[in-house]
């Protein structure tokens, strides 16, 4: 998918008038909050209804939980286009605190990591998907993988990259272990019991179904990796 990131709502309005703009899949919208939402909403009125939107959460207003609850509700009504994902803009959020990401720790060991948990708890229950912020230290691949593993464990559906060398690591991190896919397929099986043991784990379709669906979708997008612990999903 090809997205364009206009710098402002006014630029988005100009792009909407370009010939063949329908060839673009969607738009990344920077610095969206309750104070700018109406301008972005107006700018999107001339877009194709099939265009995808990726608002970026990266202003100081995002540190207010009450604001975020209002924004989550407002997102559901603001656009006629689908919101593809919400991007967590880590560096701008650090800047709002007069900070820069430390070089030797993952983002979840910082105040922005605390905020990321809050954003997940606010927006995901309203049906939105979130993506993880950039990791800017290209000479720290091990730390990058640690952060990616944390991104994946939180259900963040992607990672903003700043260099082609990071792409392979992101794809590797999002590969689904076969044993995890087996568990997801067991949960989604039409004859699955209400509660059952599988891979020495209690599985409960009523509470695990949403997770299992996401695992299957991720495996279709990123593939699988053999972790040596998979079983046939028919063993229940």
Cα–Cα separations (whole angstroms), residue 90 to 10, 136, 176: 24, 10, 26
pLDDT at 107: 97
| pLDDT range class, residue 236, cuts 50, 70, 90 | very low
Express as a percent the part of the chain with pLDDT over 70: 97
pLDDT (tens digit per residue) in 9-65: 999 999 999 999 999 999 999 999 999 999 999 999 999 999 999 999 999 999 999
Say whether pLDDT at 233 is over 90.
no
Q: How far apart are alpha carbons 56 and 32 in whole angstroms?
A: 6
Q: What is the DSSP letter of 21?
A: G
Tell me the average pLDDT across 93-97. 97
Say whether pLDDT at 77 is over 60.
yes
Q: Give strand pairing partners of 156.
A: none
Question: What token pair was written down for 98?
Answer: 């007069």
Q: How far apart are alpha carbons 186 and 230 in whole angstroms?
A: 12
| pLDDT range class, residue 232, cuts 50, 70, 90 | very low
Half-sphere exposure of 182 (CA within 13 A, CB side): 20
Say whether pLDDT at 235 is over 70.
no
Cα–Cα separations (whole angstroms), residue 171 to 7, 66, 90: 28, 35, 20
pLDDT (tens digit per residue) in 105-136: 999 999 999 999 999 999 999 999 999 999 99
Express as a percent the part of the chain with pLDDT over 90: 92
Query: Residue 189 — φ and ψ, nearest 5°?
Result: -60, 140
What spatial distance separates the first Cα and last Cα of the chain, rounded to whole Å?
Answer: 39
Domains of the chain: 3-171 (3.20.20.60), 176-225 (no CATH)
Per the prediction, the chain carries an average pLDDT of 94
Question: What token pair was written down for 168?
Answer: 């392979």
Say whether pLDDT at 228 is over 90.
no
Residues 17 and 44 sit within 8 Å (Cβ to Cβ): no
pLDDT at 200: 87
SS3 130: strand
| pLDDT range class, residue 227, cuts 50, 70, 90 | confident
Question: What token pair was written down for 24?
Answer: 């673009």
Question: What token pair was written down for 102?
Answer: 């430390």
Residues 78 and 48 sit within 8 Å (Cβ to Cβ): no
């Amino acid at each position: 998918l090809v997205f364009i990131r206009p710098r402002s709502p006014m630029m988005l309005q100009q792009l909407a008038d370009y010939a063949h703009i329908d060839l673009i899949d969607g738009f990344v919208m920077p610095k969206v909050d309750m104070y700018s939402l109406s301008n972005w909403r107006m700018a999107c009125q001339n877009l194709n209804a099939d265009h995808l939107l990726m608002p970026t959460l990266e202003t100081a207003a995002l540190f207010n939980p009450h604001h975020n609850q209002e924004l989550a509700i407002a997102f559901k009504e603001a656009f006629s286009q689908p919101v593809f994902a919400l991007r967590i803009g880590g560096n701008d959020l650090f800047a709002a605190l007069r900070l820069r990401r430390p070089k030797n720790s993952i983002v979840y060991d910082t105040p922005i990591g605390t905020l990321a948990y809050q954003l997940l708890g606010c927006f995901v229950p309203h049906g939105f998907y979130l993506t993880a912020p950039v990791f800017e230290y290209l000479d720290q691949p091990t730390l990058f993988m640690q952060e990616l593993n944390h991104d994946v464990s939180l259900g963040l559906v992607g990672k903003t990259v700043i260099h082609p060398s990071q792409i392979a690591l992101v794809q590797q991190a999002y590969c689904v272990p076969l044993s995890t896919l087996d568990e997801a397929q067991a949960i989604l099986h039409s004859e699955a019991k209400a509660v059952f043991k599988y891979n020495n784990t209690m599985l409960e379709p009523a509470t695990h179904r949403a997770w299992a669906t996401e695992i299957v979708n991720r495996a279709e997008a990123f593939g699988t990796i053999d972790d040596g612990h998979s079983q046939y999903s028919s063993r229940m």
